[in-house]
Every structure is written in structure tokens, then in C-alpha cells.
């Protein structure tokens, strides 16, 4: 089991990709702590895993520092940190996007990610035994989309990841990012049902389907584990081939699979 009793903290682990990651890591032998600003949801997600649950606003510096100390005191040295907490935004033009939405995206997605990396990564580096950090970015970090605040903060998370990988590499701390494509989490499923997406997002990918939360969780757990011991500073895209399929549209779209040969 890749966790082997080591401690993993999943911030934003009460729902979506974070919850799937916490569940997978617990199943792989990690001792998991779930931190989320929805304390009740964190407790519900943690209970079946025997995990530690904490109420945490990731953008509150004092709270993040306190959480890093509390988790270490209660569970032991933190070996892996997953930062999955984020806020999204409506797809509005700049003139219509409230500045409050911009400020909140910066506060949570970027400043919060930095504060979590700073608090836990500094402690990992100081032990001399290293550790692993996985920040959740997005395909909005690598492509143009009408989510100007969200996409900008996620692109900044990728840059932050690379910077901190260089900062802490000699201390044995690996820092990587994962950029999921459209993933079948409740928020996205609701957008599909309500018609807020133009059709099935899976139709725009090379594989012809959306990403499942467990597939992103597998990638995160891999990067957190010793199986990725020589990987740092990367942004690993998990998008079912969305990025590679986009430029095919002007050529008629991605080709369908040929008919299967008769046996």
C-alpha cells in the first residue's frame, strides 16, 4: 500500500475531487486528514474513513498555520498535502463579472493555495525528510475560457507550483500540479442538467467522454506517493484528451473509431 501509514492532508476534501482523493488515499493506507470550510461536510466525509476532520478557511493565514500545527500534533508528521479547495465563477464578460467574484477567486484559489503550501511545505522542508505537495489547477490554466478570474488564478497556481518545486527540491519536498478537465462532480453535473454548458463536455474530448473523479484522484495519489519520487514541478493534465482535440474542430472534429473487424 503506497501510503504505508503516512499522513496526508486533503484541503477541500469534503466534496468532489478532494473527497474522491481522500477516499482513495485512505484505501491505499494513508492516514488522512480532511480540512474544509464546510465543517459538517468534512465530518461526514471523514467518518467512514476514520479520518481527522477540520474546519478550515484556506485563505485565513492564521487558521492555516494553526491547522498545520494541530494536524501534526494529532496525527504526526505530514508527508503529503493535497490542495483541492477552490471557488468557481460564472462565465461572464469582464464588465459584468463583479469585482467581489474576482477578489474571492484570488483570495481562495491563489492566496489560499499559497498559504497552505507555505505552512505545510515549510514544515516538510524543515524536517529534512521531505514530503509531497499536489496542487489542483485546471485546464482553464492552459487554455482560453470565459472564466477570467478562475482561469487566471489556476494559471498562477501552476506557476506557483513550479516556483516552490525549485525552492524546496533540495529539501526533498516535491511540488506538482494536476489540471483536471471537465470532471463528473456534482457542480459540473448540475451545469449539464441546467443547460449552462453547450452540450456534453465529453463530446469535445479525444476520448469522447468526461473525466471521472476517481481518475483524477489516482493521478493525485500517484504524485503524492514514492512511485513519483523523481517527479517535481510538473502540471499533469487529466482531461480525457480535451486539449489535444480542440484544434481538430476546424478540420471536422476528431475522427470516430473505425468499425470493429468481424471475428
Domain residue spans of the chain: 7-181+210-240
The pLDDT score that the predictor gives to residue 64 is 98
Q: pLDDT (tens digit, 9 = 90+) per residue, 107-143?
A: 999 999 999 999 999 999 999 999 999 999 999 999 9
pLDDT tens per residue across span 202-243: 888 999 999 999 999 999 999 999 999 999 999 999 999 999
Who wins on pLDDT, 24 or 247? 24
User: Per the confidence metrics, is the pTM higher than 0.85?
Assistant: yes
The stretch 50-79 carries a mean pLDDT of 97
As a three-state string, the secondary structure of 40-67 is: HHHHHHHHHHCCEEEECCCCCHHHHHHH
Q: List phi, psi (to 5°) of 249.
A: -60, -40
In the chain, the percentage of residues whose pLDDT exceeds 90 is 82
The answer on pLDDT for 192 being more than 80 is: no
Indicate the pairing of strand 7-11 with strand 78-83.
parallel
Whether 114 is a known active-site residue: answer: no
Q: Give the C-alpha distances (Å, rounded to integers) separating 243 from 159, 162, 200, 207.
A: 19, 21, 16, 11
Q: State the catalytic residue, choosing from 30, 114, 120, 150.
A: 150
CATH class entry, domain 7-181+210-240: alpha beta
Amino acid at each position: 500500500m503506497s501510503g504505508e501509514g503516512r499522513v496526508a492532508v486533503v484541503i477541500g476534501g469534503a466534496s468532489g475531487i478532494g473527497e474522491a482523493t481522500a477516499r482513495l488515499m485512505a484505501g491505499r493506507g494513508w492516514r488522512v486528514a480532511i480540512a474544509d470550510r464546510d465543517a459538517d461536510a468534512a465530518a461526514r466525509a471523514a467518518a467512514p474513513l476514520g479520518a481527522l476532520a477540520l474546519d478550515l478557511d484556506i485563505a485565513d493565514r492564521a487558521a492555516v498555520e494553526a491547522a498545520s500545527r494541530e494536524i501534526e500534533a494529532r496525527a504526526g508528521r505530514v508527508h503529503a498535502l493535497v490542495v483541492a479547495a477552490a471557488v468557481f465563477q460564472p462565465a461572464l464578460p469582464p464588465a459584468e463579472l463583479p469585482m467581489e467574484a474576482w477578489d474571492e477567486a484570488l483570495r481562495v484559489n491563489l492566496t489560499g493555495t499559497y498559504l497552505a503550501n507555505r505552512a505545510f511545505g515549510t514544515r516538510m522542508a524543515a524536517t529534512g525528510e521531505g514530503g509531497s505537495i499536489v496542487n489542483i489547477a485546471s485546464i482553464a490554466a492552459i487554455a482560453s475560457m470565459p472564466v477570467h478570474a478562475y482561469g487566471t488564478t489556476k494559471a498562477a497556481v501552476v506557476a506557483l507550483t513550479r516556483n516552490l518545486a525549485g525552492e524546496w527540491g533540495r529539501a526533498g519536498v516535491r511540488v506538482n500540479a494536476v489540471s483536471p478537465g471537465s470532471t463528473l462532480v456534482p457542480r459540473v453535473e448540475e451545469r449539464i442538467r441546467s443547460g449552462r454548458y453547450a452540450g456534453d463536455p465529453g463530446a469535445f474530448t479525444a476520448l469522447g467522454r468526461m473525466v471521472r473523479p476517481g481518475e483524477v484522484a489516482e493521478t493525485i495519489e500517484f504524485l503524492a506517493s514514492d512511485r513519483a519520487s523523481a517527479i517535481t514541478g510538473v502540471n499533469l493534465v487529466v482531461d480525457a484528451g480535451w486539449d489535444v482535440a480542440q484544434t481538430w474542430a476546424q478540420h471536422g472534429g476528431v475522427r470516430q473509431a473505425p468499425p470493429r473487424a468481424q471475428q
